Amino acid sequence: MNKGLVLKITGGNYTIKDLETNDIIMAKASGKLRYVRVASDKIITVSPKAGDIVNYENNYILSVNERKNSLRRPDCANIDQVVLIFSCKEPDFSFNLLDNFILHIEKEKINIKIVITKIDLLSKNELDDLKNKLSYYEKIGYNVYYTSSKVNNGIDVLKPLFENKISVLSGQTGAGKSSLLNAIDPNYKQETNEISRALGRGKHTTRTTELLEYDNGYIADTPGFSSLDFLDFEIDDLKEGFIDFYKLSSGCRYSDCNHINEPDCNVKNNLDNILKSRYENYLKFYDEIKKNKKY
């Protein structure tokens, strides 16, 4: 039995790197791995993902090793960090989408970095305003970086982040993930497209998740998204995923405080110190999860 790392999935074909010989192997999944199994009320996907360590033989994947973490969107596993790529313009920056992505990644307890692209498209005042608001995320523990692939601004600061790690580039559709990859290493030659001005959003230039070797690690380029759902979320996932609220919750009167209408809520008592959009997004996500779960 051979062991390999799944680098890419295209249709039913898997590109695997053998962990002993470093050979690149094309394989298919055995029959038992080509379906979705339902256990109680949860859907368990047994099909291999990019980032999985798998056991294979005769160009067939026979089993998937235990994962340390797994994401559904983007669909990959065993990740050391997620680097969220958001543009400040074309398309416009969205705090709602940022908080949505952060919440989904925090659910899996994966480290998060935030990269803001296309800063050359903003005036100094516009950029200063955005940096002022995003300083809140730095205050609660997320590193934020500002770049422009077009003028190669801030790219060198990012390169050391990827050393010896499996990193996922994810985030907003049209934010320039592939352009950023090309700026980090021109050898990638990722397909890029200009923003569709008529639609006000990016075209899906990345259609599959692929692990690309970089500095003793891997960078995964993934499809961009315009929205994420909360179908597999509970209210507790929301409360823990907003790490700033979770820290404040120890001061709430009730241990199960939802930070909505409860008396003596320490989160609500500190709203002056919380970014306004952050709490507004919390309320929107709460309503959506509650609607899905029919609490």
The per-residue pLDDT for range 21-53, each reduced to its tens digit, is 999 999 999 877 755 555 555 555 568 999 999
pLDDT of residue 290: 92
Angstrom distances, CA of residue 128 to CA of 60, 65, 85, 170, 180: 53, 46, 19, 24, 22
Query: Which two structure tokens, joined as six digits, stand for 295?
Result: 């609490």
Segment 90-119 shows an average pLDDT of 94
Encode pLDDT of 149-189 as tens digits: 776 678 888 999 999 999 998 888 888 787 888 888 887 76
CATH for 2-66 is 2.40.50.140
Class in CATH terms, 235-293: mainly alpha
Q: Strand runs (DSSP E) across 11-49, as ranges?
A: 13-18, 24-29, 36-39, 42-45
Q: Which long-range contacts (CB under 8 A, 24 or more apart) does 187-191 make?
A: 188/212, 188/221, 190/221
- Global pTM reads 0.85
Angle between helices 95-106 and 276-293 in degrees, nearest 10? 60
Query: What is the fold of 76-221?
Result: Rossmann fold (3.40.50)
What are the domain boundaries of the chain?
A: 2-66, 76-221, 235-293
By the 8 A CB rule, do 108 and 241 touch? Answer: no
pLDDT of residue 59: 94
171, with CB counted inside 10 A (0-12, 13-18, 19+), is buried
pLDDT of residue 179: 81
| For residue 64, pLDDT beyond 60 | yes
| For residue 254, pLDDT beyond 90 | yes
